[in-house]
Amino acid sequence: MQSDRHDFWKQCAVTVYPMSNSVSGRLALVFSLLWTAPSLIAEADYLRALEQEAAGALVVESPAASVPVPSFFDMPVGDVELGPGLSKEEFEARLKSDFYGSYVFYSRLSADARARVYEDYLNSPDGGIDVVRDAIIRHAD
Amino acid sequence: MFWRIAVSLGCLLVSTMTWANEVKLDAKRDSLLVIDQGRVITVQRIQDLNNEITGFYARTSRPCPHFCIQPHAAAPGVLTVSEIEVFDFMEGPLARGEGVLIDNRLESFYRKGTIPGSIHIPFTVFEKDPSDPELVAALERLGAIKRDGVSSITRMFERIGLFGGRYKTDNWDFSRVKTVLMWCNGPWCDQSPRGIRALLDLGFPADRILYYRGGMQMWQLFGLTTVVPTSAEN
């Protein structure tokens, strides 16, 4: 179908355009435009509809992608630290992605206990994971 | 004291062994590994038993004709597959370099998340003029070989099935192409069916094309791993 359209335009260029000074040539040009215009408009309309849909789509990276890397191959290598000053959402996301074991226990704490763990993390100058682990243990008791 | 030991043991276990998933991929697989843009990604399902789909892929209704429900088969001779066959494909042909997983959607969809291991070739590329450099590059990426100056006698023999003619056209030799598994947004999306039909029009063999009709819609429904591409080109 696509190649048919291309063939058609080639045909237009080769035959119709040189005849455009004549009445029959102009008529052929008009008819050819009328014939192809609907499909071209429909195609443009379709692509526009797709783009509109895509604009409404949210990023769909799943938690499973960035997190449950519990497989040996996906574990972060080298010294990984939380770093200070993360928002609560960022803190939990980092914990989940880089310190899954700690996250498992953190996620089982009550909401109050989790808030206290986060507070302890915020109060620590370097935002180290050791502080968080200790906080999890303390607030779990 | 209990918690101290438990946390330490938990961290140790997580870092040294594979986590057993409660929500498995299928009866035999917890998860699988796939290479995506140079990274090893674990494909698995979200383990939260209360997780629900929200947002874009939770929508039930979109206007047709643009977003009509697609038939089961994209084209004659093209096999339609489900998630299990996609997993098998990832662990088989894709891992061995004999297959290509293709996200056929427009870039604006692709950039918001894709199935791990996919490369991005929008359906519009396959619909370009056969001599378009972008289309030529895409076909070569799939293993097709451009042909020039094939004699009419050779073509005559090829047309009757000799000299591997089944996989050859005037312009392309598809005899060594990889198996492609094409997908888009799901059963309401015709981007991959259009891409498939365009490939067939070019002479790409139907028996080397697989169609994952479920697409991103079903991938999301099952809580399967998705990734956001790190670059526009994959």
Distance of residue A26 Cα from the nearest chain B Cα, in angstroms: 27
Is the pLDDT confidence value at B112 over 90? yes
pLDDT band at B12 (very low <50, low <70, confident <90, very high): very low
Interface A–B counts its CB contacts (< 8 A) at: 136
Residues B68-95 pLDDT 10s: 999 999 999 999 999 999 999 999 999 9
Beta carbons of A105 and B42 less than 8 Å apart? no
Instruction: Name the band, by pLDDT with cuts 50, 70 and 90, for residue A1.
Output: very low
Between B182 and A59, residue with greater pLDDT:
B182
Tell me the mean pLDDT in the region A31-42. Answer: 76
Confidence of residue B173 (pLDDT cuts 50, 70, 90): very high
- Among partner residues B112, B130, B225, which is closest to A57 by beta-carbon distance? B112
Contact: A68, B116; criterion CB under 8 Å: no
Residues in B closer than 8 angstroms to A50, CB to CB, are: 66, 106, 108-109, 191
Most confident of A43-52, A93-102, B198-207: B198-207
Residue A109's pLDDT band, with cuts at 50, 70 and 90, is confident
Chain A residues in contact with B106 by the CB 8 A cut-off are 47, 50-51, 54
- Give the pLDDT band (50/70/90) at residue A72: very low
The predicted structure's pLDDT at residue A66: 43
CB contact under 8 A, B201 and A62: no
Q: What mean pLDDT comes out for the span A68-96? A: 66
Band of residue B158 on the pLDDT scale cut at 50, 70, 90: confident
Q: What is the rounded average pLDDT for all residues in chain B? A: 89
Q: Which residues of chain B make contact with A102, given a CB cutoff of 8 A? A: 7, 10-11
Mean pLDDT of A81-90: 85
Q: What is the pTM of this model?
A: 0.68
B5 in contact with A at a CB cutoff of 8 Å?
A: no
Which residues pair with residue B145 across a beta bridge? Answer: B173
Looking at residue A19, its pLDDT comes to 55
Q: Determine, for residues B7 and A70 on separate chains, whether the beta-carbon distance falls below 8 Å.
A: no
Q: Residues 95..134 of A with a Cβ closer than 8 Å to B: which?
A: 99-102, 104-105, 133
* Average pLDDT over every residue of B131-160: 90
pLDDT tier for residue B113 given thresholds of 50, 70 and 90: very high
User: Residue for token digits 């089961």?
Assistant: B72
The answer to whether residue A64 neighbours chain B at the CB level (below 8 Å) is yes
B7-B12-B16-B19 Cα dihedral, nearest 10 degrees:
-10
Highest mean pLDDT among A40-44, A127-131, B125-129: B125-129
Candidate from A15-29, B58-72, B91-105, B200-214 with smallest mean pLDDT: A15-29
Instruction: Grade residue A7 by pLDDT with cuts at 50, 70 and 90.
Output: low
**CB contact (8 A) between residue A61 and residue B227:** yes
Is pLDDT of A82 > 70? Answer: yes
- Residue A18: the pLDDT is 57
Q: Does residue B99 carry a pLDDT above 70?
A: yes
Asked if B19 contacts A103 with a C-beta cutoff of 8 angstroms, the reply is no
Q: What is the pLDDT of residue A13?
A: 57
For B108, the closest of A51, A60, A71 (CB atoms) is A51
| Nearest by Cα to B213 from B198, B191, B180 | B191
Mean pLDDT over B5-22 rounds to 54
Q: Does the pLDDT value for residue B42 go beyond 80?
A: yes
Contact A54 B106 (CB under 8 A): yes
State percent of chain B over pLDDT 70. Answer: 90
Report which of residues B29 and B15 the model is more confident about: B29
Band (B123; pLDDT cuts 50, 70, 90): very high
B127 touches chain A (CB under 8 A): yes
